Amino acid sequence: MKMFAMNPRFLLLSVLLVLLAINLCESSTAKNRNRKKQQREKEQKEINVCDIEQENTPLYCYCNDNKLASAEDANCLIFNKLELSDPIWAHFNAQMYIRKLSFVVRSDGMITYVPTGVLRQLKSLNAISFQHAKFDAIESQSFASLPSVSTINLNKNNINVLKWHSFEGLRNLTLLNLDENYISELSRDIFYDVPRLQKLFLNHNNISLLHDKAFKHLPSLQELELNDNKLSVLTSESFSGLRLLQRLDLRNNQIRMLGERSFIEMPELQELDLDQNRIEVISNRAFDGLKNLRKLRLSENKLSVLEPDFLIGAPSINLLDLRENELTTMTFDNIKPVIMNFYNNSSYFYLDGNKLICDCKLTWIWGLRNETKNAKLREGLEELTCLLEASYDVKLDSGEDMNRALDVVRNPGYHIKGNMDDPQYLGDNNYDDDYADNDYPAIGHAVELNGKRAFVRHIFELKPDKLPCPAASREDVMASEQPSGRHQSSSIFSFVSGASSISLTTGLLVIAFALLT
């Protein structure tokens, strides 16, 4: 101790060494801090999914704002196969406020899964879209715990199967698009726990089987589109639970018949589209319970006859489309439940492209033409054509006409053969070809009707009281009950008289033939 006290130089040197050590330590600490700060800044820059700089990245996102934690819209392109374990998924941590996120897989890219964990981290996410992925199946709970998501677009993703509870937990989802995939069936509980879904699109898939109560968990659904699938059978249970549905699109399927109460589970339905199916039969009560139905489209089916009161369950229809079917008649009984709706300006009624036979069962069309306030509907009716048998197209006002008629009676085989040889006549070989493109024969053209020759006529070129009339039927009596009857009553009575005259003329021809032979 005495030695240290006696040597001030040693003390000074010791102090200087201590100060130097402290300075060096602080300098090292500062450098470490700066180094760590720079590293953090570098790492933060690297994980910003909206500002990726490295080359050959499998994913690149275009955002509306590249600053950290600022982007709300991100449109991402996938260029290579993207595995779930790829570290690039961690880059989304830098943009936690994305609201709209889309992934588009380019030709060389591939993704086979829904990145559920990544989506869950984005607490503000509102809309999700994938396109051209190869999902094959949407697994159970693929979108679980995404309470803010309202829109999911999964069209064109090669989806074959929707697993049990595929969309569970999407309690605020309002729109789901699954168009243009390869889904073949819809089973129960796929759409479990999606209580607010309003629009569901399943167009252009391969759906052939619709399990009973497949939509029972969708109490808020308002629009359901199943256009261009392979559905052939519908039952009331197919749509169980859709109490608020307003629009149902079933175009371009393979439906052959509509059974009783097929749509009873949808009391709020306003629009039903069944165009381009193969419907041959519609039950008399197929549309029971559809008191709110406004638009019914049945064009391009195989309908040849309609039940008398097939529309009685849907009295509010103001758009009825029956174009391009095989109907040979449309009676007043068919149209009676809704005919009053066609008198106003907002109504539409389409019947062209059928094979209507010109007879007294079409008399009600004159009344509708006169009563409707809708100019377009009136014009459409005036373009309607029907097929008039050649025997009714002959006037019997002269001796020459009477001799011709007698000759037809004497030699029916000869005249039928003569018709077949007529170059204007459409024989069996080209009859179907003529209708292949839904082209209706020109006015005045000859066609075959039940083995007889007939001519195409505009309905309103004919006089209702001169039309042929088959055996008396309920339709004939009911036709006078429509409101237009007050304008057409004289026509109806003269029409019946005309029918009696035709019957009398036919009888005279038969007697003449008997006398001549």
Look at residues 119, 134, 149 and tell me which one is the last residue of a structural domain: 134
Listed residue (190, 274, 271, 273) closest to 232, CA to CA:
274
What is the mean pLDDT, run by run of 10 residues, along the chain of 517 residues? 57 68 65 56 63 85 92 95 93 94 95 96 96 97 95 98 96 98 97 98 98 96 99 95 98 98 98 99 97 99 97 98 98 97 95 95 96 95 92 48 38 39 35 41 69 87 88 50 45 37 41 43
Q: Report yes or no on 218 lying in a domain.
A: yes
Cα 111 from Cα 108, distance rounded (Å):
11
Cα 314 from Cα 310, distance rounded (Å):
9
Q: What pLDDT is attached to residue 34?
A: 61
CA dihedral 179→147→114→183, nearest 10 degrees, is: -30
Query: Could you tell me whether strands 175-177 and 151-153 are parallel, antiparallel, or unpaired per DSSP bridges?
Result: parallel
pLDDT tens digits, one per residue of 447-503: 777 777 888 999 999 999 888 887 655 444 444 455 544 344 333 333 333 434 434
Name the residue with tokens 């009398």: 504
Q: Indicate the angle between helix axes 399-410 and 412-421, nearest 10 degrees.
A: 100
Same domain for 102 and 62, yes or no, is: yes
Cα 366 from Cα 368, distance rounded (Å):
6
CATH number of the domain bearing residue 206: 3.80.10.10
pLDDT tens digits, one per residue of 461-475: 999 988 888 765 544
Which residue range forms the structural domain that includes residue 221? 158-243
Contact by Cβ (8 Å): 112, 136:
yes
Count of domains forming the chain: 2
* Residue 267 burial (10 A CB sphere; 0-12, 13-18, 19+): middle
Query: Could you tell me whether strands 452-458 and 385-389 are parallel, antiparallel, or unpaired per DSSP bridges?
Result: antiparallel
Same domain for 186 and 120, yes or no, is: no
Give kind and range of the element (H or E) at residue 18: helix 8-46
Paired tokens of 193? 């726990």
Q: What pLDDT is attached to residue 30?
A: 60
Listed residue (461, 459, 460, 433) closest to 447, CA to CA:
433
Q: Report yes or no on 364 lying in a domain.
A: no
Q: Report yes or no on 435 lying in a domain.
A: no
Q: What pLDDT is attached to residue 391?
A: 72
Q: Report yes or no on 166 lying in a domain.
A: yes
Q: What pLDDT is attached to residue 46?
A: 52
Paired tokens of 48? 């910003």
Q: Report yes or no on 81 lying in a domain.
A: yes
Listed residue (318, 332, 393) closest to 358, CA to CA:
393
Paired tokens of 157? 């993703």
- Write down how long the chain is: 517
Q: Report yes or no on 100 lying in a domain.
A: yes
Cα 280 from Cα 370, distance rounded (Å):
31
Paired tokens of 382? 């005036």
Instruction: Report the Cα 380 to chain-centroid distance in Å.
Output: 25
Q: Which amino acid is at 480?
A: S
Q: What pLDDT is attached to residue 35?
A: 59
Q: Report yes or no on 165 lying in a domain.
A: yes
Look at residues 196, 211, 243 and tell me which one is the last residue of a structural domain: 243
Same domain for 180 and 106, yes or no, is: no
Give the chain's end-to-end CA distance (angstroms, integer): 164
Q: Which amino acid is at 117?
A: G
Look at residues 190, 223, 243 and tell me which one is the last residue of a structural domain: 243
Cα 139 from Cα 163, distance rounded (Å):
5
Q: Report yes or no on 108 lying in a domain.
A: yes
Same domain for 163 and 234, yes or no, is: yes
